[in-house]
Amino acid sequence: MNMKNNSARRYGYRVITVLILLGLEFQVSGQDTFRFRLATDPPTLDPAQSTDTTSGAVVLKVFDGLVEFDPLTLEVVPAVAESFHVSEDGRIYTFHLRKGVSFHNGRPVVAEDIKYSLERTLDPQTKSPRTWVLNPIEGAREFTSGQADHVAGIRVVGESTVQLILTEPYAPFLAQLCMEAASLLPREECERWGDEFKSHPVGCGPFEFVEWQHDIRVVVKANPNYYGGVPRLKRVEFKVIPNEATAFEEYKAGGLDFLDQVPPGQLLRVRQQYPEDLHIWPYLSIYYIGFNHLEPPFRDNVLLRRAVNYAVDKEKICLAVKEGISFPARGILPPGIPGYNPGLEGYPYNPRKAGELLAEAGYPGGSGLPEITLWHNRDDRHRLIGECIQYYLGQIGIRIRLKNVEWAAYLEACEEGRPLLYRMGWVADYPDADNFLYILLHSSQAGSPGNYARYSNPEFDELVVRAQASTDPETRVALYRKAESIAVEDAAWLYVYYDREVALIKPFWENIILSPQGDFTIPLHVIRHKDGPPP
């Protein structure tokens, strides 16, 4: 009996030992591999096709363009171009290429590559959703529509100089050139891979593509010939982990070095338990509730729109729904965008004033106003914000009904102008006031281009167009501020909040530059391990 017990015990010990050994197989982070979480599998790695932040997170590491944003100051600085010059009339952009820049296949970048890359994005065969980035170039639209066999406004002047000629002066053009759609690609690799180039990207950025296992991970390695200095990281692994709670556990277990979000409701706990890992920084975005300016009751009724703005306590929404990360919006341009106006008062919470304005608008205590449907797309956060707005507007007598719609149908409804009230958010494509004011509120952009509210004010339109054409940054800022104050005065939207980015980063990584353009733009090539060799 004793012998039997002993043998069972020995067997038990063996099992426990094996289990402990399994447990010890922790995923230890190396000093040269950085693991970055992606919430979905990237739809593409072709810069001409990239429209989402997931694709952008990888594409921006593999590809470079002529110019790029300084991640902190957000100024446009040279990248593959060593220098650039804008003509006095603001139409001709001359770029001189840096020497010694090579694609990952080893071939040096020459001026012809710029022509090829930009024409490839504009080529209808590429089916790029981002042709608008290059449309300001003379002849771009004709080329895309098949009326021309080349883009007239792209001129190669020698091996290392290229000129881009615009149809008319357009100040945001340099900023648009920093976008993925204007990345440089080697013709021979695009032709070699054909349609498969999106899965085998070759650029001249700081990291070279290694492998893409769909829905598992994308791996890139350091480009040893990178003109901006060899990256300190040898490898970056973008791990696809869709579930927020799983991603958080993976981060805690050491399987991730960068987690792009904290699960809802966990921020307080994370602040206490991971104070060194937690990073919160400004993000170029706004969350708003749009009014339909073409339909009653909001059409031509600025008093009603102002009443709605005063009635909602945005500060409480930021605290309750966004756990204090976001802060109330006083206008359209978020902090960080050139032209942001810190002096703008906006519409602080004032239910008494809201009631008075509602009465002046012809609806005392909400009488005479029909029940209004506030549309939002399917998401818990949007629902909660909708419920808050429903409550606050109910306090002054405006009855709100919430309508929850799948994103595809929602986007279509907003583009077609069906909702009277709808929630929407916007994250800057590029850090320029034009990307907010022109796209979201200029009357020419009504509908699918971005002005879902169908807001229209000729004075506002004129100021924004003048700002687009101006080459003087100070003049532009002044024009945008004036335009913004007009839209705020008009209560074009219900301005809710400006967002901030939240991320967890393992504290043993340093030199992390948290860009207001979003976590996907963080320059990974400068990150280094604290215990790694000195720079």
Question: Given the rule CB under 8 A, which residues bind another protein?
Answer: 19, 22-23, 25-27, 40-41, 43-44, 49, 51-52, 124, 127-132, 141, 144-145, 195-196, 198-199, 213-216, 239-243, 245-247, 249-250, 252-255, 269, 272-273, 406-412, 415, 424, 426, 429, 439, 447-450
CB-CB contact of 44 with 62 (8 Å): no
Q: What is the 3-state secondary structure (H, E, C) of 142-180?
A: HHHCCCCCCCCCEEECCCCEEEEEECCCCCCHHHHCCCH
- CA–CA separation, 391 and 396 (whole Å): 9
Given the complex with another protein, which of 60 and 393 has the nearer CB atom?
Answer: 60
Least gap, CB of 422 to another protein (angstroms)? 12
Least gap, CB of 461 to another protein (angstroms)? 18
Given the complex with another protein, which of 230 and 409 has the nearer CB atom?
Answer: 409
Given the complex with another protein, which of 252 and 316 has the nearer CB atom?
Answer: 252
Given the complex with another protein, which of 392 and 436 has the nearer CB atom?
Answer: 436
CB-CB contact of 441 with 492 (8 Å): yes
* CB count in 10 Å sphere of residue 143: 23
Least gap, CB of 279 to another protein (angstroms)? 19
Least gap, CB of 52 to another protein (angstroms)? 7
Size (the chain), residues: 535
In the beta sheet, which residues pair with residue 219? 211, 237
Least gap, CB of 97 to another protein (angstroms)? 29
Cα 132–Cα 137–Cα 141 angle in degrees, nearest 5: 60
CB-CB contact of 278 with 502 (8 Å): yes
User: Residue 269 contacts by C-beta under 8 Å, 6 or more apart in sequence?
Assistant: none
Least gap, CB of 529 to another protein (angstroms)? 20
- CA–CA separation, 345 and 85 (whole Å): 38
476-515 burial code (b ≥16 CB/10 A, e <16): bbebbbbbbbbbbebbbbbbbbbbbbbbbbbeebeebebb
* DSSP per position, 434-488: HHHHHHHH-GGGBTTTSBTT----HHHHHHHHHHHH---HHHHHHHHHHHHHHHH
Least gap, CB of 209 to another protein (angstroms)? 16
Given the complex with another protein, which of 306 and 376 has the nearer CB atom?
Answer: 376
Least gap, CB of 53 to another protein (angstroms)? 10
Given the complex with another protein, which of 245 and 513 has the nearer CB atom?
Answer: 245
170, 173, 451, 472, 475 from 466: Cα distances, Å: 10, 14, 19, 11, 9
Given the complex with another protein, which of 319 and 413 has the nearer CB atom?
Answer: 413
Among positive and negative, which fits the CA dihedral 291, 292, 296, 301?
A: positive
Least gap, CB of 94 to another protein (angstroms)? 27
Given the complex with another protein, which of 7 and 40 has the nearer CB atom?
Answer: 40
Least gap, CB of 352 to another protein (angstroms)? 36
- CA–CA separation, 244 and 502 (whole Å): 13
Given the complex with another protein, which of 88 and 406 has the nearer CB atom?
Answer: 406
Residue 231 is given by DSSP the state -
Residue 108 is given by DSSP the state B
- CA–CA separation, 514 and 260 (whole Å): 12
Least gap, CB of 272 to another protein (angstroms)? 8
Given the complex with another protein, which of 49 and 517 has the nearer CB atom?
Answer: 49
Given the complex with another protein, which of 52 and 356 has the nearer CB atom?
Answer: 52
User: Residue 277 contacts by C-beta under 8 Å, 6 or more apart in sequence?
Assistant: 270, 504, 505, 506, 507
